[in-house]
Amino acid sequence: MDASKLFSHLVESLNEEIVISDVSVHDVRFPTSLEAHGSDAMHKDPDYSAAYAVITATGLELRGHGLTFTLGRGTDVVVSAIRALLPMVVGKSLLKIYTDFGSFWRALTNESQLRWIGPDKGAVHLAVAAVINALWDLWGKIEQKPVWKLLCDMTPEEILTLVDFRYLSDVLTKEDARQILSKLFPTRSERETQVHQTGYPAYTTSIGWLGYSDDRIKGLCQSAMAEGFTRFKVKVGKDVVDDIRRCTVIRSEIGWEQPLMMDANQRWDVDEAIHNMTQLAQFKPLWIEEPTSPDDILGHARISDELRKFRIGVATGECCHNKVMFKQFLAAKAMDFCQIDSCRLGGVNEIISVLLMAAKLGVPVCPHAGGVGLCEFVQHLAIFDFVCVSGTMDGRVIEYVDHLHEHFLAPVVIRRGCYMPPEAHGYSCEMKPESLVQYGYPDGAIWKELGRTN
- Report whether 62 contacts 138 (CB < 8 A): yes
3-state secondary structure of 49: strand
For residue 219, give every residue at least 6 positions away whose Cβ sits within 8 Å of its Cβ, in sequence order, or none: none
Output the pLDDT for position 37.
86
- Report the pLDDT averaged over residues 376-396: 98
Query: Of all residues in the chain, what percent carry a pLDDT higher than 70?
Result: 98
Distance CA 39, CA 54 (A): 29
Of 39-53, 128-142, 389-403, 433-447, minimum mean pLDDT range: 39-53
Q: Indicate if the pLDDT at residue 452 is higher than 70.
A: no
Angstrom distance (rounded) from CA 358 to CA 389:
9
* 309 labelled catalytic: no
pTM for this entry? 0.96
What is the phi/psi pair of residue 234, to 5°? -125, 145
Q: CA 273 to CA 237: how far, in whole Å?
A: 9
Q: What is the pLDDT of residues 67-76, one digit of tens each?
A: 999 999 999 9
pLDDT tens-digit series, residues 105-135: 999 999 999 999 999 999 999 999 999 999 9
Confidence of residue 13 (pLDDT cuts 50, 70, 90): confident
| Residues pairing with 50 in the sheet | 28, 69
Neighbouring C-alpha atoms within 13 Å toward the C-beta of 357: 31
pLDDT in tens, 338-362: 999 999 999 999 999 999 999 999 9
pLDDT, tens digit, 9 for 90 and up, residues 263-299: 999 999 999 999 999 999 999 999 999 999 999 999 9
Position 238 pLDDT exceeds 70: yes
Mean pLDDT taken over the chain? 96
Span of 4-13, 60-69, 115-124, 144-153 with lowest mean pLDDT: 4-13
- Catalytic residue status for 368: yes
Q: Is the pLDDT of residue 148 over 70?
A: yes
Q: Which residues of 233-243 are buried (b: 16+ CB within 10 A; e: fewer)?
A: bbbbbbebeeb
pLDDT at 349: 98
Q: What is the pLDDT of residues 298-329, one digit of tens each?
A: 999 999 999 999 999 999 999 999 999 999 99
* Model pLDDT, residue 12: 82
Identity of residue 212: Y
pLDDT at 5: 72
Grade residue 40 by pLDDT with cuts at 50, 70 and 90.
confident
Catalytic residue among 65, 145, 235, 407: 235
Identify which of 362, 366, 378, 369 has the alpha carbon closest to the alpha carbon of residue 337. 366
pLDDT at 9: 82
Q: What is the pLDDT of residue 11?
A: 83
pLDDT computed for residue 2 by the predictor? 54
Pick the catalytic residue: 125, 238, 327, 368?
368
